[in-house]
């Protein structure tokens, strides 16, 4: 017996047990509502998606061509439309996740208004967005299943037994729009206890994967801005443990922790690490500090003195009271950060880089894999990178190394439209096209994400509509480049009443009121123009 049939049978038995009082309750309607509400709580979602993500990680370990992808989504509707589109174009959501970016929460969802990515937004806005995303994804399930149920009723009315069975099979094998969310908890919004409390809220909302970074919580900066300050490893490890405890407390035993290091671009630290003996973790952290050899007599009031290799050294301290790392130590610190995180409970790594360069990323990953052979990355294919310029310059530099004539190109001006369509630009574009597959194979990247693409697409599409609708095209500006494109490309949202849940509401009215139901989807509904 299928799940759908079983639910009908169970509902029928329960209704019968209540006598005549429940006679108006239809068993099949109950089964349909149960199918449309598969996930009862956020924890149900977290457990379901954690299993998916673990299976995907194992698949990638066996075959690096099986990498995963996501786009950052700042509203439930955006996440919903993304997953509907993926199902429409590819027939499956496998390997496709959602990413919740702290940057976008700060810039777009804070009650303070637009904020920079510095952990100034409300903690509660992060779990609230997770819950919102999953509310919209569950509604996408209900909407699509509702369409199948109406098609099933029509097949029955027409006596189409073959069609009826086909639709039943689609119902039984329905693939949910609910997919894993990798959620950004920034630097934990405070101490380890604050991190733990926020993590619980995020997991309860449905997050199966939490990404945390090794910046100082109250000095946190966007990964692609200057002024980043890291914390000693023991401080970061305490927060990784806090995340694990939150997962275990809530019964999400296979929850995923993504440990991010910002050390490549972070030249500062707020603290000198505690060290007990040469070569321990604290000593390794301190070994990267920029120091001058001094004698005690040379110290000024308030100066800090350290012993290193039997000598006294003075760590350079800035007027901001921060200590400075030596130039050129970023990659070494990233490798140490990554190994330490994996050895202390993290599952995946995130190395924030200043450019999308496979050789640079792969070089660090290879060093990490000398210690942790199955180490793998979540990587930010960031809109903060000028992808066109970066890859054109990479091709230019490769051609120079190969002795190829580059006299037709000015390296500093490769962004120019004058180079569009040139041999160099075409080679660069092909490298951008294959970046994800190449980096998955050569640089250990399991998951490719773009942090804030829908921030940019919303701005671009609004700019285009504004320019045309308020310009010479007038109403044609909307019709030509929005509505007509929606219709011809099968964008479900063209039937916006349906997308908002009107048909689901009509179904419920029929369940609740029978023939007396006043439904919105009658012959005078203008959505019929899009049938």
pLDDT number for residue 399: 98
Residue 499: CB partners within 8 Å, gap ≥ 6?
Answer: 143, 492, 493
Per-residue pLDDT of the chain (531 residues; tens, 9 = 90+): 689 999 999 999 999 999 999 999 999 999 999 999 999 999 999 999 999 999 999 999 999 999 999 999 999 999 999 999 999 999 999 999 999 999 899 999 999 988 877 777 888 999 999 999 999 999 999 999 999 999 999 999 999 999 999 999 999 999 999 999 999 999 999 999 999 999 999 999 999 999 999 988 767 665 555 567 899 999 999 999 999 999 999 999 999 999 999 999 888 998 899 999 989 999 999 999 999 888 877 878 878 888 888 888 889 888 888 899 999 999 999 999 999 999 999 999 999 999 999 999 999 999 999 999 999 999 999 988 999 999 999 999 999 999 999 999 999 999 999 999 999 999 999 999 999 999 999 999 999 999 999 999 999 999 999 999 999 999 999 999 999 999 999 999 888 888 888 888 888 988 888 888 787 777 777 777 777
Is residue 133 within 8 A of residue 72, CB to CB? The reply is: no
Look-up: residue for tokens 């990638």? 60
The helix (H) or strand (E) run that includes residue 370 is none
The CATH classification number of 42-142+178-271+325-449 equals 3.20.20.60
Is residue 216 within 8 A of residue 230, CB to CB? The reply is: yes
Per-domain boundaries in the chain: 1-35, 42-142+178-271+325-449
Q: Nearest to residue 57, comparing CAs of 146, 182, 242, 145?
A: 182
Is residue 78 within 8 A of residue 239, CB to CB? The reply is: no
pLDDT number for residue 465: 94
Question: In degrees rounded to 5, what are phi and psi of residue 308?
Answer: -140, 120
- How many Å apart are CA 148 and CA 292, to the nearest integer? 73
Task: Tell whether the torsion through CA atoms of 503, 44, 446 and 100 is positive or negative.
Answer: positive
pLDDT number for residue 363: 97
Tokens read off for 216:
């100082």
pLDDT number for residue 527: 75
Computed over its alpha carbons, how large is the radius of gyration of the chain? 28
Longest dimension (CA), the chain: 99
Is residue 281 within 8 A of residue 233, CB to CB? The reply is: yes
Q: Where are the alpha helices (DSSP H) in 299-375?
A: 330-343, 358-369
- How many Å apart are CA 450 and CA 383, to the nearest integer? 7
Helix axis angle for 192-205 and 42-62, nearest 10°, is 100
**Which active-site residues does the annotation give?**
222
Tokens read off for 477:
């500006």
Residue 106: CB partners within 8 Å, gap ≥ 6?
Answer: 114, 115, 116, 117, 118, 119, 120, 121
Task: Tell whether the torsion through CA atoms of 147, 153, 159 and 162 is positive or negative.
Answer: positive
Burial class (CB in 10 A: 0-12, 13-18, 19+), 23: exposed
Is residue 520 within 8 A of residue 504, CB to CB? The reply is: no
pTM of the entire predicted model: 0.93
pLDDT number for residue 361: 96
Q: Nearest to residue 32, comparing CAs of 155, 165, 174, 159?
A: 174
Helices (H) and strands (E) in the chain, counts: 20, 14
């Amino acid at each position: 017996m299928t799940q759908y049939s079983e639910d009908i049978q169970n509902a029928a038995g329960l209704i019968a047990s209540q006598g005549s009082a429940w006679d108006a309750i239809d068993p099949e309607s109950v089964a349909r509502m149960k199918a449309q509400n598969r996930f009862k709580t956020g924890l149900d979602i977290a457990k379901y998606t954690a299993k998916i993500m673990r299976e995907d990680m194992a698949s990638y370990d066996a075959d690096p061509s099986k990498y995963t992808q996501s786009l950052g989504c700042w509203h439930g509707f955006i996440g919903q439309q993304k997953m509907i589109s993926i199902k429409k174009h590819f027939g499956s959501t496998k390997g496709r996740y959602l990413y919740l970016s702290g940057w976008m929460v700060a810039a777009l969802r804070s009650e303070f208004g637009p904020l920079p990515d510095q952990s100034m937004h409300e903690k509660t806005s992060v779990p609230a967005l997770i819950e919102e995303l999953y509310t919209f994804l569950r509604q996408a399930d209900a909407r699509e299943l509702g369409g199948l149920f109406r098609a099933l009723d029509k097949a029955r009315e027409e006596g189409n037994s073959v069609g009826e069975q086909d639709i039943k099979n689609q119902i039984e094998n329905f693939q949910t729009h609910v997919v894993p969310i990798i959620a950004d908890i920034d630097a934990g919004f405070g101490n380890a206890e604050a991190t733990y409390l926020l993590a619980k809220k995020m997991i309860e909302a449905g997050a199966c994967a939490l990404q945390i970074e090794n910046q100082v919580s109250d000095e946190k900066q966007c990964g692609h801005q200057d002024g980043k300050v890291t914390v000693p490893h023991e401080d970061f490890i305490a927060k990784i443990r806090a995340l694990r405890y939150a997962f275990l407390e809530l019964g999400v035993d296979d929850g995923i922790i993504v440990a991010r290091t910002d050390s490549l671009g972070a030249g500062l630290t707020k603290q000198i690490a505690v060290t007990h003996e040469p070569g321990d973790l604290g000593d390794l952290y301190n070994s990267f500090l920029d120091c001058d050899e001094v004698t005690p007599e040379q110290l000024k009031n308030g100066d800090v003195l350290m012993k290193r290799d039997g000598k006294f050294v003075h760590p350079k301290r800035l007027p901001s009271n921060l200590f400075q790392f030596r130039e050129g130590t970023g990659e070494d610190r990233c490798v140490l950060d990554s190994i330490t995180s994996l050895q202390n409970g993290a599952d995946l790594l995130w190395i924030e880089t200043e450019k999308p360069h496979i050789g640079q990323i792969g070089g660090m990953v290879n060093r990490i894999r000398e210690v942790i052979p199955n180490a793998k990355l979540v990587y930010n294919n960031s809109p903060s990178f000028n992808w066109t310029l970066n890859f054109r310059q990479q091709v230019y530099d490769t051609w120079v190394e190969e002795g190829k004539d580059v006299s037709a190109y000015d390296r500093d001006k490769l962004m120019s439209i004058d180079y569009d369509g040139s041999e160099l630009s075409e080679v660069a574009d092909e490298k951008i096209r294959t970046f994800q597959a190449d980096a998955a194979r050569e640089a250990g990247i399991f998951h490719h994400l773009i942090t804030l693409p829908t921030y940019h697409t919303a701005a671009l599409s609004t700019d285009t509509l504004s320019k045309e609708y308020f310009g010479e095209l007038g109403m044609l500006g909307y019709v030509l480049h929005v509505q007509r494109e929606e219709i011809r490309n099968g964008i479900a949202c063209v039937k916006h009443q349906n997308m908002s849940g009107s048909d689901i509401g009509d179904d419920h009215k029929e369940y609740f009121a029978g023939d007396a139901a006043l439904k919105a989807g009658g012959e005078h509904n203008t959505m019929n123009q899009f049938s």
